Amino acid sequence: MATYLGGEQIEEAQALLARHVVSCADGRCLTCDVPGPCPAHERATSAFFRSLRLPRRTPAASRPELCGARWHGVPGSWWSA
């Protein structure tokens, strides 16, 4: 019998990834303010690795505006709404 990681553990890992995002401006965790992925981010990614699932992405979570990125929507697209 196999045991699969899922349910609450995946939800907790997803919540950790949403909070512990690495900024594209300086490469630091936006919550912990440490360089690179912090230990909490690494634990969350390992949970997804063990479960053979991918986390949901949150657009603009890495705060690309901090490194000078600008949003260029496609005219007439729902992306620009």
pTM over 0.75? The answer is no
Question: How much of the chain exceeds pLDDT 70, in percent?
Answer: 75
pLDDT at res. 77? 54
| Per-residue model confidence as pLDDT tens digits over 43-77 | 999 999 999 999 988 777 777 777 776 666 655 55
Q: What's the pLDDT score for residue 1?
A: 42
Residue 2's pLDDT band (cuts 50, 70, 90): very low
Residue 14 pLDDT greater than 60, yes or no: yes
In this structure, the dihedral spanned by the alpha carbons of residues 49, 35, 69 and 45, taken in order and rounded to 10 degrees, is: 10
15 Cα distance to chain centroid: 9
